[in-house]
């Protein structure tokens, strides 16, 4: 095996992110490598330096659960990073590839999205592709070139820098979510393609991706700026779709009677007005009579 396996890359990145003082080790003189040395991680984990080296080089890809836990403790991984590490230690045949039709959204879920008239909601695939959305979600993101993939919108679309008021946090979150999805299926062609495109087009993404941070979507506050309705403070929640485990339902909510709630209502009103104008235009249009020969 090569020395660029997903497991080896993850271990190396997390080792290099730590300093000796982070793990209670003294730092003597100038160090030739960033972060901890391999032998230091091996000592903290209670394994031989040669064994840990084989892990990073991809020559040992199936460590025991006890070794995984010991290495995770040595690297000070949080629970999500530990779960990611465990997924990476599975044999390639144990990774569950995305099933056929994974990008299709259940019709009942589509009806649910449409029933939320003033609440932006959308469905994400594992590569952060927008698989479905309701009208107000489209209106909320109308300033973007395309409402197609959240990672592309954050890192590549010029609108992203203004739309996400805390752009750095949005970028870090997006990268970490994509990394988490990668851990479930490192061979996914779609995730590979998205990562390759973003790495080529965004130096910020390439730098974040090399850090191997892992974080799934959680309930958080987002501060957004819409060109037409102004500043928005939203609470977003992400839910796993039971009949499509690789999909997430994301819902943006506003505090009742808040300026953000009023802004969502304004977006909905604009949608209704445009629809009414189109219907009126169709009703008023009369085709020219057809001349029979």
Phi/psi for 238 (5° steps) reads -120, 135
d(CA 32, CA 133): 50
Note the pLDDT of residue 120.
Answer: 96
Domains of the chain: 6-94 (1.10.260.40), 107-279 (3.30.450.180)
- pLDDT: which is higher, 10 or 98: 10
- pLDDT: which is higher, 225 or 60: 225
Average pLDDT of every residue of the chain: 88
Is residue 100 scored above 80 in pLDDT?
A: no
Measured in residues, the chain has a length of: 293
Is residue 121 scored above 90 in pLDDT?
A: yes
Q: What is the largest distance, in Å, between two alpha-carbon atoms of the chain?
A: 99
Give the pLDDT band (50/70/90) at residue 41: very high
Note the pLDDT of residue 127.
Answer: 95
Q: Which two tokens stand for residue 140?
A: 């909320």
Over residues 171-224, the pLDDT tens digits come to: 999 999 999 999 988 889 999 999 999 999 999 999 999 999 998 776 678 999
The arithmetic mean of pLDDT across residues 11-24, rounded, is 91
Give the pLDDT band (50/70/90) at residue 243: confident
pTM of this prediction? 0.85
Is residue 162 scored above 90 in pLDDT?
A: yes
Q: Are 267 and 255 in contact (CB under 8 A)?
A: no
Is residue 292 scored above 70 in pLDDT?
A: no
Give the pLDDT band (50/70/90) at residue 66: very high
Specify the 3-state DSSP secondary structure of 118.
coil
Beta sheet of 230-241, edge-to-edge order = 130-133, 121-124, 244-253, 230-241, 220-226
């Amino acid at each position: 095996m090569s020395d660029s396996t997903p497991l080896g890359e993850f271990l190396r990145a997390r080792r290099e992110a730590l300093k000796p003082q982070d793990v209670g080790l003294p730092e003597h003189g100038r160090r030739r490598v960033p972060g901890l040395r391999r032998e230091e991680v091996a000592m903290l984990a209670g394994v031989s330096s040669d064994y840990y080296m084989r892990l990073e080089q991809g020559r040992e890809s199936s460590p025991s659960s006890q070794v995984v836990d010991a290495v995770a403790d040595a690297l000070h991984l949080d629970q999500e990073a530990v779960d990611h590490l465990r997924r990476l230690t599975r044999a390639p045949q144990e990774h569950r590839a995305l099933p056929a039709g994974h990008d299709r959204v259940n019709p009942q879920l589509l009806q649910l999205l449409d029933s939320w008239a003033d609440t932006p909601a959308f469905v994400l695939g594992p590569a952060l592709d927008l698989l479905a959305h309701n009208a107000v979600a489209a209106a909320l993101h109308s300033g973007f070139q395309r409402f197609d993939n959240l990672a592309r919108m954050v890192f590549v679309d010029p609108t992203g820098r203004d739309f996400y008021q805390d752009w750095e946090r949005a970028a870090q979150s997006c990268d970490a979510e994509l990394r988490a999805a990668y851990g479930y299926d490192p061979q996914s062609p779609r995730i590979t393609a998205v990562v390759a495109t973003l790495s080529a087009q965004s130096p910020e993404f390439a730098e974040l991706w090399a850090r191997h941070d892992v974080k799934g979507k959680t309930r958080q506050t987002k501060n957004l700026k819409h060109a037409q309705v102004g500043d928005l403070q939203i609470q977003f929640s992400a839910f796993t779709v039971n009949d499509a485990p690789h999909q997430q339902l994301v819902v943006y909510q506003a505090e009742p009677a808040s300026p953000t709630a009023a802004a969502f209502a304004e977006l909905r009103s604009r949608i209704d007005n445009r629809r009414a104008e189109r219907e009126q235009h169709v009703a008023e249009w009369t085709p020219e009579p057809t001349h029979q020969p």
